[in-house]
Structure 1
Amino acid sequence: MLRIISYNIRGITTYKKQQLLKIWLNQTQHDIVMLQETHMTKFKHLNQFNNSFLDYNIKCALGTWSAGGVLIMIKKKYNIIDCGSDAIGRIVYMKIEYNQLPILLVNVYAPTQRTERCEFFKDLFLYLPTTKWTIIGGDFNCTPNNKIDRSQLALQPDNLSYRTLLREVINPLLMIEVFRRKHPRKINYSYHSDAGNIHSRIDLFFSTNVIYKNVQEIFYSPVGISDHDALIMIVKIPLINNDKSFRRWICKSDVTKRKTFIEKFHKIWNIIIKNADFNSTEWWKDFKTSLTMILQDEERQLNHEIRRKLNDLINEYRFRANDPTKEDLIKLDIIRQRIKDTLTEKFLSVVSNQVDRNLKCLGNLVKTRFSHDKANQSRIIFLIHPTKGRVENASEMMEVATTFYQDLYDFKAIDKDYWKELFKDLPTLSQEDSDFLEQDITMNECHEALKTMPLGKAPGDDGLTVEVWRIIFPVIGERYLHMINTAKLKGQFYNGFLNGLLTLLKKDGIFNGSMKNFRPLSLMNIDYKVISKVLSIRLKKMIHKLIHYNQTSGIPGRSIHDNVQLIRSIIDYHSRNRISIGLAQWDQEKAFDRVNHLYLFEVLKQFGLGCNFINLIKLLYTNSTFTINFNNNLSQKLPFNSGIRQGCSLSGFLYIMCLEPLLNLMRRNHNIPGVLIPGSQYKTIAHKILKNDDINVEIKVLAYADDICSVVYNANDELETYAMFQKYSKASGGKTNEAKTKIFWISDSIDPPVFNAKVEKEMCIFLGIPMNNKGHLPQVELNKLINNIKMKIGLWSSIKLNLCERSTVLKTFIISKLVYWFTLMTIKKDIIKILQKICNTFFWGNIHPFVKFHTCVGRKEDGGFGLIHLESLVISYRIKCGLTITSTSPKIWQFFALPYVGLHLYKYAPWLWSNLIPHFDDDNHFFGEVAINTAKWLRQGNEATKNEKDKSIYWKFINKNIYRPPVCYERISHLKNIPFYKIIHYCNLPSNIIEFWTSLANFGINTRDRLGKTMEEKKCLFCPLPETLSHLFITCSYFEEIFKLLFEYIKNKFSLSITRNGNEIIYLHIISSITSNKIQKQVTYTIGNYLYAIWTYRCIMKNGSRKNQLRRCREIFMTNMRYLPFDNG
């Protein structure tokens, strides 16, 4: 049991109080004590307290004149992993190890003044290291519910503070207020004011869900030392056998930019060059060990520098905070901001994903949420043991996982007698193509492969990232290539080079404890990925010559859209013509993981690949191993004797090559039926679409990687197809999962025959898209998706985001699945309107729209916010589909499209009209929509052919048909001659300043000069004139000193002269005379901070929280200008 006490002691500097506390603690069982308002402001106070409590480890945040100080004291039997505090005595945290788990304890004393309290809550997340086992306690100076947590309402009850705490910290971190959740109706008070006869519950504990589930008891207990009661929580932390737990090291990208790292690397490399034995591969292992050591040393140095910087700022803050002058108060604000910036910089450096770090439009709090969700996503709570049933112990779960994957990747017995039949009539590469693949790997190929790898992806078990290799590869590249060639000669790499870190990803759906509910992803080291990427780039250029067009996965020119289009068209065609048909979806159990390696190498040989290329593939699979990462526990190394690695750039190509013999066997089997494509019997039509002389095209099977769909009309067809799968399984080691195989029966009049597989008649899901027996989206599934979108919007609404961030969240995290569905299926316009309204409501939040909708949907560089316009999105995808047809790209589904597009598009592609087939004008049909929208697009003068490199049809459509320029373009003439909004968005200003400036330029900033106001109410806060936008930012005499500061800065830095008028400052007329893009961005950055400093200072004055000090405005401006972007200095 872990017993935790939180208590506001109201001063603990006197010897008497310390002894009273000690007596009370001796009478109360406890392990950890959190104290608030210690009133300890000097180190001598802390030393006296330590001497009184020698049995505890104590971490204290000394208080200042405005904050009382907080501390955490923990009995010395517990191991402290980490600890820290803020600069002003309001936050202290301590991470301890308990039952081999990291428990984070955070002690908080919130400000008593409401405005300061809300600002404090907004920054609180910066002090919280991420862990699943987190407890936040303390005096929050606000009540969760004013009705039941306060004896009587104050004259002005505070309804804002707790909402801010929930929005900024508790909800994003998925935490729970423990007492109220445990006792929903119980009324208890922790603070008692005799003077005002007010009693309230402001001392609280928050915890993560896993802590809450283990809370045995929580209650308030009187102490008598202060006017607060102690809050006591008893937690039973489960014992976890975590002997093999590890903290995985991943190199931080910032380390590689340090000059000291480059110097150390060159020293190590020179030693390697002089002493290594390059006739073996072992030297590479020694080099990586040395590289890892210097990187880890540089990280320690970097962390030390950050800590020293923070300590210097904290010490300066404490010095100035004691009896501060007016100038000190201004400096304290600047120091607080610098501390926040330093903490934010440190926080961003440990965000695991480079994509998350680069989403500049998303706030840090959102990134925190991502990290928290990702950490919990891979956590496994229980598994089903084959003999013991449900197990939750770490060692037993590891045993289940190890046994499962050891069996899965063990050598699979195969029957080579089936190879001859399976490999018959396979296509082969020409000698020229084979010679291309056979070439020796070059240094340039390796370097280019490294450049194509995305940054920020999780590395292998060595922790070395792509960023590291990009920096050092120009130096080590030739030796690396020599090491690869040495391994090829010896037939294998050194032990450990081919070890993969197996990460388990939960599949969608309900988790039932089975290991089959996970998809194993092999995280390989970058030095392995370079060679596999080179081979995959080569193979990608030849793969379309080997794989039939019915397989679309990963092959250039083909996509998953082709399969969905064809399946939807088959269902629609047979439903309209009342022809009964069944579509069988065959499930291959662990398809990638069961492929026998001997079968893989033989397939490559049968396709005509040369010995050199095959030997390189063998090299990547010989003596390979894997280690399972299970809940941060590592298994022993296990042999990888079968299967194709998932997570390797080669794996997709290798698997579809292994599967192609099966698909080819099914196409050659005359006993397996197919669908005769309507119109393919006519040679002229077939030649136009397929670019060959094939006629009577028959579709028997479709595949997207291991998702295989075939045609069945009766039970015999099913059995014959199943027999083909059995032959493939015996030849390759695969296994057909009969329980998950489904048949979708399409018929209104005839019941399905008796099949062995499960039969669906109403709806089935093909490649992630639900379809009914008419080929349409089922309304039930559409309603589910809409509800899911509303739920996501509800979650994201709890986070404070600006308009640019909300636009990005909408497109990236909320409607991405919706877009995939709408791309390939018809959708009613009223549904689109409903969804658009939902998106618009989320976008504006509680703000009154100050920019027109038709402007918001424009690009950010054009003055919009990039707000998604769903109707235009759907139309743009229809146009893309239409241009695919008119450009005569060979697609089987074009046969089904022909009757619906000929009437509208024959003017632009005459071959689309044929007297041999009927033509329809049906705007409710998918291809009818395609034809109508494409025809309108072409009538506007756009090209009739599809440019694969052109990804901007959506934006072209928006700009021509929807977008309206901002209102400022109509009033400010020179804006047509400069990229006003583009420069604002690309000058590295913070997103909140960009949104402010965009609002200001569009007259969306509310000043005091509004209708219905008296002259007194309209008056400027700083002078007697009315406060208009032009007055506040341009003509107000009060800010003349700030303008002089801006004038001198721009003149000294850029040798430019700026005048004080709206066009020059707000609308950047000054940059029209600047030719350098860099200087344009820097001047824009400077002016943006000038405008925002005035607005920030004005808002501070409006709220009446500070005295009239222009010096504060100047400090805000200069703080933001402490560095210039794009400035090497």
Structure 2
Amino acid sequence: MTLHDESRDSSEVMRPMPPLLTTRAKIFIGTWNVRTMWETGKTSQIAAEMKRYNLTVLGISETHWTQTGQKTLATGEVLLYSGHEEENAPHTQGVALMLSKKARNALVGWEPHGPRIIKASFKTMKKGITMNIIQCYAPTNDGNDEDKDQFYDRLQSIIAKCPGKDLTILMGDLNAKVGMDNTGYEDIMGRKGLGERNQNGERFTNLCAFNKMVIGGTIFPHKRIHKVTWVSPDHTTENQIDHICINRKFRSTEDVRNRRGADIASDHHLVVAKMKLKLKKQWITGVTALQRFNTASLRDADKLKEFKITLNNRFRVLQDLLKEEETTMEDNWKRIKEALTSTCQEALGRKKHHYKEWISTETLNKIQQRRNKEAEINNSRTRAEKIKAQTEYTQANKPVKKSIRADKRKYIEGLATTAEKAAREGSMKQLYDTTKKLAGKYSKSERPVRNKEGKPITEIQEQRDRWAEHFEELLNRPAPPNPPDIEAEPTDLPIDVKPPTMEEIKITTRQIKSEKAAAPDNIRAEALKSDIDITAKMLHVLFKRIWEEEQVPANWKEHHLINIPNKGDLSKCENYRGITLLSVPGKVSNRVLLNRMKHSVDAQLQDQQAGFCKDRSCTDQIATLRITVEQSMEWNSSLYINFIDYEKAFDSVDRRSLWKLLRHYGIPEKLVNIIQNSYDGLQCKIVHGGQLTNAFSVRTGVRQGCLLSPILFLQVVDRIMKTSTSEKEHGIQWTSRMQLDDLDFADDLAHLTHTHQQMQMKTTDVAAISALIGLNTHKGKSKILKFNTESIDLIELDGETLEEVDTFTFLGSIINEQGESDADIRARISKARAAFLQLKNIWDSKQLSTNLKVRLFNSNVKTVLLYGAGPWRTTANIIRRVKVFINNCLRRILNVRWPETISNSLLWKRTNQLPAEEEIRKRRWKWIGHMTLRKSSDCITRQALTWNPVGKRKRGRPKNMLRRELEADIKRMNSNWRQLERIAQDRVEWRILVSGLCSSERGCRRK
């Protein structure tokens, strides 16, 4: 950086220093206060201006975005942003860094520091030198001194942490006038600034002097118009308050000036620094995640035909090689994999993402017209001309905003048209994918994670290492010291152990879900389904070898793991769950095993378990628990419920015990050996930021996303429950011959007892037996809910007290100590309202038909509202609240607004809806018929409909309960439970009965 001074006075000339980073490459770095990005189309306009000025990095002030994250824009730029983190925070302040592809590739790491500061680091061509860019937005000169102190203290601490050998750039809207007088600051500024230094300027120059950072805007000689960075709305005041600074020891800046032609309807000018610097691509130790094949093109008939022909030709060449006796199973797999992937590469090619800009050419022309008006303002010579040009600019900005909003509406209407077409053609996946776009349901943006000590990790490579560290610990739990001695069943279950037949492979291949991410082998289900016959022939040879050798290909044991955000602080790895991407041919093999085992294994499980079981649902368990609570309250019978939660249940199962359990339940040894081999030597890599971490071994738990995992895990839970309750009477008396100890849905367990002593003993026993198999009870999340007891004794586990609560959410439904449904219904209405508001674009669309809107309402909103409604105890107040919500939604869909009116009956008729009371009753009786009365008499949910505890009713009028509502409905039908059980066996007759019940209720209401 050379100082071009008009005078040779020593007080004005900076001491010469040779440039540290010598290179011919030039990059442009800018900073801009855009006033807001919380406006439709603003981000796209900023990205366009960034490209127009060929900026490598653009710092942005006043984004007005909340939260912190990283987003990849549709145009390819990466946006790092930092704003207010608080819930319901105001859309004020906010800073961001927009990175070009070059900067994105050189990115080493980044740090958010609240709504005023953000920092990013980039690798340069100079070995050992990193470029740190700090973008900030300082308080105004009139701001609170305490806020200024806090801002500059934080900024100083950030700069101080940057290594002295690195190139550090500080830029942004500092709201600081440094002026032209550099007396005392000759080392960090020249005399080419603008105006007079203000209070913020003093703070800023002192900061720069302390850190030896040169203020670029004061060094290079330019016209006044090229120094101004802010202009007041009336054009009477012009200041230089946006700055770009660089370490004094680096001489790589060649120029700093504003770019008045950049236009975003802001009162600040874009400030650009031209630098002699070259960024280096940040190569990492991991490898890039796979680029997927374009299997979507198989929907085209010609492309599908071409693919089938190519695959058939390769199979003919491969056929004889697969049947050679000296070939191993691994050899067969490698040849099959090569045939499939090479066919995909040749016929389909790689998947490319095409971005379709939603801003129209007409709008872009209007933006150019507005830009021309900006140029007129800049070229005006008198104040009167500026005022006139500013008025014209304001007028030109209005049609830009209007046109952008129109373009956005047109884009949304285009999506709506696509959704309507998908609905007509029955393409439900495309319909709901488009619905997500309409609703704006995008994945949460990436953000830096923290290490174990809670300190943010800024470097991307270290973040990947942290993810690998987290999941390696999570998926390799400590082995139980004394695993149980589980004996094998002497007689195997009647499960076929012969190699899969061709027909069996065809059936299971069709059962595999399409449009799912591929595993490391890069083979997708669409490729296998494109020609089922050829696929079956290839896999038949492979599966035969697998069954003979009792081993699976090593490639099937190499997994990629995707981290999916849950609730809570997303800077903590603990608030993410992992989904494993498994080989699709391996899924076909697992589906064969599952189809063969499931029926026999399900018959071995307790009836209390409803998770992943055929003809069982969450509603069964919710209803059984609600009825149990209601009847206990009715008969004044004591009841204790312990909602047990395991720590990372699926990931903690001890595999040594698991393989013994499979034999204990009668799974044939050959199938157990195949399953066990698929877990031996399991390797996993984490996908983060499009890159893969180093591989690590996975030694505990069952795979998340594997078809066999549910049935394997259910046997573990079943063993725990049977062992802890088989010889003890710790449950509630259910029938004369049976006690009900628990209600389970996979690992969601609700233990039931009558007394504190029983619950204490059961809790201790279950925890001890669970620990033997690797499952540890989460003491912080396990809760106690009790009814009709005056005992104040607490339940303890390993010296810790389990919390007693008034309410608990079991399988998504709220159970409280009053045994009522009101709290659950309030929660359902709140969730349904949120779901309805998310689909605002759909309800406002003029392209979507009313019929489709109602269908989407029924599937996306009504299902949320009426989840678990079957066992609700409905009162007039509850019915009114549900009806009001549904009617308000339907009126919004039909665009009926005050003072327009429409009767409820006409509203329901036009939208083909039942009244709320009938809808709940219809769902209730459909559930009772389908899921309860058609089952055997030993079904717990069926028994619950007539169960009474031991006890005595309280005095006074009994409360309305589900059972009384059912009895009233049965009376309307002129029937009884025995007759209903007979009718329920005929589905058609049952539907007629339920429809008649609703019709008769409607008729009674009219009378």
In which range does the TM-score fall when normalised by the shorter chain? 0.5 to 0.7
Within the candidate set 591, 609, 623, 2:681 is matched to 623
Q: Give a deviation string over 1:468-525, Cα, whole Å, max 9, x none.
A: 21113311312212212323434433332222222223334x2364433333222212
Tell me how many residue pairs correspond in the alignment: 711
C-alpha contact (below 8 Å) 1:502/1:522 kept by paired residues: yes
- Aligned-partner SS, 1:745: strand
Q: Give a deviation string over 1:540-583, Cα, whole Å, max 9, x none.
A: 21123211111121222333223222222222222223333321
Within the candidate set 919, 923, 945, 1:897 is matched to 945
Show the 5 A alignment for 1:662-741: 662-670=720-728, 673-677=730-734, 680-681=735-736, 695=737, 697-712=738-753, 716-741=757-782
C-alpha contact (below 8 Å) 1:221/1:232 kept by paired residues: yes
> Structure 1 residues 624, 886: closer, same or farther in 2, change over 3 A?
closer
Show the 5 A alignment for 1:599-678: 599-670=657-728, 673-677=730-734
C-alpha contact (below 8 Å) 1:242/1:394 kept by paired residues: no
Matching residue of 2:373 = none
> Structure 1 residues 881, 300: closer, same or farther in 2, change over 3 A?
closer
> Structure 1 residues 839, 294: closer, same or farther in 2, change over 3 A?
same
- Aligned-partner SS, 2:340: helix
More relative contact order, 1 or 2 (CA 8 Å, 6+ apart): 2
Within the candidate set 397, 401, 421, 2:467 is matched to 401
Matching residue of 1:789 = 832
Give 1:963 deviation, angstroms.
10
> Structure 1 residues 954, 656: closer, same or farther in 2, change over 3 A?
farther
C-alpha contact (below 8 Å) 2:642/2:752 kept by paired residues: yes
Matching residue of 1:134 = none
Give 1:81 deviation, angstroms.
11
Q: Give a deviation string over 1:191-210, Cα, whole Å, max 9, x none.
A: 999xxxxxxxxxxxxxxxxx
Matching residue of 1:926 = 962
Give 1:529 deviation, angstroms.
0.8
Matching residue of 2:238 = none
Matching residue of 2:894 = 844
> Structure 1 residues 953, 248: closer, same or farther in 2, change over 3 A?
farther
C-alpha contact (below 8 Å) 2:891/2:897 kept by paired residues: no
Q: Give a deviation string over 1:1069-1093, Cα, whole Å, max 9, x none.
A: xxxxxxxxxxxxxxxxxxxxxxxxx
Matching residue of 1:161 = none
1:373 aligns with 2:373: no
What amino acid does structure 2 have at the position aligned with 1:288? K
Cα distance in 2, alignment partners of residues 355 and 403 from structure 1: 47
- Aligned-partner SS, 1:554: coil
What amino acid does structure 1 have at the position aligned with 2:585? D
- Aligned-partner SS, 2:924: helix
Structure with higher helix content: 1
Runs of 5+ in structure 2 lacking a partner? 1-25, 35-44, 59-71, 77-97, 108-171, 174-229, 236-256, 274-278, 366-406
Q: Give a deviation string over 1:687-722, Cα, whole Å, max 9, x none.
A: xxxxxxxx2x21122221111222355664444334
Cα distance in 1, alignment partners of residues 953 and 903 from structure 2: 47
- Aligned-partner SS, 1:811: helix
RMSD of the alignment, in Å?
5.3
Matching residue of 2:811 = 767
1:871 aligns with 2:902: no
C-alpha contact (below 8 Å) 1:742/1:759 kept by paired residues: yes
Cα distance in 1, alignment partners of residues 642 and 1002 from structure 2: 46
Cα distance in 2, alignment partners of residues 95 and 294 from structure 1: 37
> Structure 1 residues 363, 471: closer, same or farther in 2, change over 3 A?
closer
What amino acid does structure 2 have at the position aligned with 1:762? D
Give 1:826 deviation, angstroms.
1.9
Q: Give a deviation string over 1:1076-1121, Cα, whole Å, max 9, x none.
A: xxxxxxxxxxxxxxxxxxxxxxxxxxxxxxxxxxxxxxxxxxxxxx
Cα distance in 2, alignment partners of residues 507 and 228 from structure 1: 38
1:358 aligns with 2:394: no
What amino acid does structure 1 have at the position aligned with 2:470? F
C-alpha contact (below 8 Å) 1:443/1:478 kept by paired residues: yes
Cα distance in 1, alignment partners of residues 566 and 262 from structure 2: 55
What amino acid does structure 1 have at the position aligned with 2:441? D
Give 1:644 deviation, angstroms.
0.8
> Structure 1 residues 721, 281: closer, same or farther in 2, change over 3 A?
same
Matching residue of 1:578 = 636
Give 1:675 deviation, angstroms.
0.5
Q: Give a deviation string over 1:451-472, Cα, whole Å, max 9, x none.
A: 2233333333344332221113
What amino acid does structure 2 have at the position aligned with 1:269? F
Matching residue of 1:745 = 786
C-alpha contact (below 8 Å) 1:264/1:294 kept by paired residues: yes
TM-score, normalised relative to structure 1: 0.54
Cα distance in 2, alignment partners of residues 353 and 484 from structure 1: 39
What amino acid does structure 2 have at the position aligned with 1:385? N
C-alpha contact (below 8 Å) 1:553/1:704 kept by paired residues: yes
TM-score, normalised relative to structure 2: 0.60
> Structure 1 residues 950, 521: closer, same or farther in 2, change over 3 A?
farther
- Aligned-partner SS, 1:542: helix
Give 1:782 deviation, angstroms.
3.9
Q: Give a deviation string over 1:892-940, Cα, whole Å, max 9, x none.
A: 244442279xxxxxxxxxxxxxxx999x997921122223335545779
Matching residue of 1:255 = 297
Cα distance in 2, alignment partners of residues 949 and 285 from structure 1: 52
What amino acid does structure 2 have at the position aligned with 1:368? K
- Aligned-partner SS, 1:721: helix
What amino acid does structure 2 have at the position aligned with 1:630? H
> Structure 1 residues 734, 898: closer, same or farther in 2, change over 3 A?
closer
Q: Give a deviation string over 1:194-244, Cα, whole Å, max 9, x none.
A: xxxxxxxxxxxxxxxxxxxxxxxxxx98949999988645799x9997834
Matching residue of 1:292 = 341
Runs of 5+ in structure 1 lacking a partner? 1-25, 35-58, 62-68, 85-93, 104-177, 180-187, 194-219, 319-336, 682-694, 859-863, 901-915, 965-1129
Show the 5 A alignment for 1:423-462: 434-462=493-521
1:835 aligns with 2:885: yes
C-alpha contact (below 8 Å) 2:289/2:692 kept by paired residues: no
- Aligned-partner SS, 1:709: strand
Q: Give a deviation string over 1:667-695, Cα, whole Å, max 9, x none.
A: 2242x521012xx23xxxxxxxxxxxxx2
1:945 aligns with 2:945: no
Cα distance in 2, alignment partners of residues 842 and 954 from structure 1: 33
> Structure 1 residues 887, 233: closer, same or farther in 2, change over 3 A?
same
Matching residue of 1:812 = 859
> Structure 1 residues 789, 525: closer, same or farther in 2, change over 3 A?
same
> Structure 1 residues 958, 246: closer, same or farther in 2, change over 3 A?
farther
Give 1:770 deviation, angstroms.
0.8
Within the candidate set 497, 500, 505, 2:564 is matched to 505
Cα distance in 1, alignment partners of residues 593 and 515 from structure 2: 22
Q: Give a deviation string over 1:52-89, Cα, whole Å, max 9, x none.
A: xxxxxxx9x9xxxxxxx9995343879999979xxxxx
What amino acid does structure 2 have at the position aligned with 1:483? L
- Aligned-partner SS, 1:711: strand
> Structure 1 residues 818, 367: closer, same or farther in 2, change over 3 A?
closer
Cα distance in 1, alignment partners of residues 414 and 807 from structure 2: 49
Cα distance in 2, alignment partners of residues 411 and 225 from structure 1: 56
Give 1:290 deviation, angstroms.
4.6
What amino acid does structure 2 have at the position aligned with 1:925? M
C-alpha contact (below 8 Å) 1:506/1:518 kept by paired residues: yes
- Aligned-partner SS, 2:839: helix
C-alpha contact (below 8 Å) 1:923/1:932 kept by paired residues: no
C-alpha contact (below 8 Å) 1:251/1:295 kept by paired residues: yes
1:73 aligns with 2:86: no
- Aligned-partner SS, 1:267: helix
C-alpha contact (below 8 Å) 1:593/1:642 kept by paired residues: yes
